[in-house]
Structure 1
Amino acid sequence: MYDILRERLEAGTYKTGFPIPSLSQLEQEWPDLARNTIRKAIARLEKEGFVRGEVGVGTFVRPKDEWQAADD
């Protein structure tokens, strides 16, 4: 899940300043994944600086120059 979301961010599928799909939307896209798995993937993206969460609003894509992901 994390890898797929990260690839979409890097490819520009999710645009800077705009929200990524909600947890509910991602659950519908991947019904076989546990909600907690999706939450962990989003939390990792947030920790690495790809996105920022706003309680009650959504999770938004940060500018690429703010991404601090470790090299894989």
Structure 2
Amino acid sequence: MALKAEDLRGKTPDELRDQLGQLKKEQFNLRFQAATNQLENTARMKTVRRDVARVKTILNQKAADAAKSTEETGA
């Protein structure tokens, strides 16, 4: 099941980094299974790849928001 951006926005950056690590491990395992012809659900590779992109996007948005808020309070 694909992750929803709305759910990801409610998580802390640390939780998002943990989620990203888990997704990267799953992506590696799926690639390995595909290479050895053991992968049954090939669509899962696409879903995981997009979930990784979603998590990275939310992390970058949170970092940009944090930088913007510190810039406003500092200036």
Same-fold call, TM cutoff 0.5: no
Structure-2-length-normalised TM-score = 0.36
Query: Which protein has the bigger helix share?
Result: 2
Bigger relative contact order, structure 1 or 2 (CA pairs below 8 A, ≥6 apart): 2
Q: Which has the higher strand share?
A: 1
